[in-house]
Amino acid sequence: MEKLKVMNSYKFLITLLTLACCSFVTYAQDTLRLDFRQAVEFGLDANLDYKIQENNMEILKKQKQVAALSHLPSVGINSNLLRQSGQQFQQVEGEIVVTNVTNEIVSGGLNMNMPVFNAGRRILDTQSAKLAFEAGEKGLERAKQQVVFDVAQRYLQVLLDQELLKIAIENLENQQEQLRQIEGFVEAGLRTVSDLYNQQSEVARLQSVKVDAEIQLENDLWSLSEYLQLEAGKIPDLEPVDPTNSSVSFAEQNLGELYELAMANRADIKQQELLVSSTKKDVQARKAMYFPRVSAFYNYNTFFTSLDSRSLREQLLRIYPQNTLGLNLVIPIFSNWQTRLDVSRAKVAYENQQLTLQSLDRRVYQDVRLAWQNYKAAKLKEQNTGLQVLAAEEARNAVQERFRLGISNFVDLSAANQQFVAAQADQAQAIYTLYFQEVLMQFALGTLSTD
């Protein structure tokens, strides 16, 4: 009996330390209630890649605007204020007179330039910029899906940890109740002291299992908090989801159908296709520099000089204004191969985008195939674990009854209980794994949303 007291004291100490640790963690941390949508919003605000793509969209937007405005004339105003000191040449009554004077001059002008023909370069640049902007939008959409997927992975892992902790607590409580019953059997002389020691050992083991489940939950909570970039000391308190209530099923679809669905919906595929088209337009725009270019121009110039005694207004507006209207023709003959270099760079960029598209096509097929195979395996495992739990529960109940009647021994009872708990844990993992595989399947198909 002395050993029994020592074991009880040891069990009490473990329980006290566990409660103290849990109380300290609860006291030291602040919780933030989050549902999945809110978690995604936090993730989008904190994700570096997503924020960088958002910033890059501003540049693409400006490039698109500049390309569209290039079809309009460019307009500029110039003005000069200057003073000339020294010998000045003036024409007086048909003669050139040189005098040493100071001349103050004010000049101004208006310049307008309008491209008339440049082998379609303005149109091609506009189309290329538009396609690049649309590609950026698709890239931003895929980046958002990536954040949703990352948050879902961590979110579901925390919910699974909570479910496993719940199973561990229920099992511990059941075994503690079993310990109390065995203590009564021992006092009544119906069971040996060895059965009591074995049950005390089992309870102590389950207390350690519970502590491990709490630590795993705590670690995954902090991992989610870090990804969401929550304030220091805050951990999320997640709204639960029902992993058994799924409206999506891919079991009846074949791989070919899923691949076609992915090619039609994947934002990264559409982004790459748009980039290929954009760089192709860019190659054509660079080739346009080989051809002659025609532009129209208009210049208005006027000036005022202090050597003229007439007023500033009269000189600027009536005496000296000049209007020039004309066409400018540029025929490229030799540009030190700069145009050829620009075309070569554009071609390489176009070819690289084509290679990237081919590689992405193969990767999409692999993503869909792996996700589909894992989904089918998870579906089958979820069904099997359901049968496993039912069978393990019936076996445990039968062994418990036999143990109560003194027919079965403690080893059989412990094995049956461990089998039942393992089946429960396997079922919980299978259910959440299947739910996550559905999320992964939607991510691979490009149909994943915050819903």
List pLDDT tens digits, range 115-149: 999 889 999 999 999 999 999 999 999 999 999 99
Handedness of CA 311, 313, 315, 316 (dihedral sign): positive
212-218: long-range contacts, CB 8 A cutoff, minimum separation 24 = 213/161, 213/164, 213/165, 213/168, 214/22, 214/165, 216/161, 216/164, 217/158, 217/161, 217/162, 217/164, 217/165, 218/25
Residue-level pLDDT at 97 = 65
Q: Residues 6 or more apart from 399 whose CB is under 8 A from it?
A: 408, 412, 413, 416
Confidence of residue 151 (pLDDT cuts 50, 70, 90): very high
Rounded to an integer, the average pLDDT of 72-94 is: 80
Kindly report, residue by residue over 346-382, the tens digit of the pLDDT: 999 999 999 999 999 999 999 999 999 999 999 999 8
Q: What integer best gives the mean pLDDT of the chain?
A: 86
Q: Where are the alpha helices (DSSP H) in 111-266?
A: 121-187, 193-228, 255-265
Tokens representing residue 316 in the block: 């600027």
389 CB-near residues (< 8 Å, 6+ apart):
420, 423, 424, 426, 427
* 108 close to 299: Cβ distance less than 8 angstroms: no
The number of beta carbons lying within 10 Å of the beta carbon of residue 205 is: 14
Token reading at 55: 């910033």
List, in order, residues 6 or more apart from 40 with CB less than 8 Å away: 147, 148, 151, 450
Give the residue extent of every domain in the chain.
2-72+118-291+332-445, 77-116+296-330
Q: pLDDT, tens digit, for every residue of 380-436?
A: 998 899 899 899 889 888 888 887 777 777 778 788 888 888 888 898 889 999 989
As its CATH architecture, domain 2-72+118-291+332-445 has: Up-down Bundle (1.20)
Q: Are 271 and 142 a contacting pair, CB within 8 Å?
A: yes
DSSP bridge partners of 83:
104
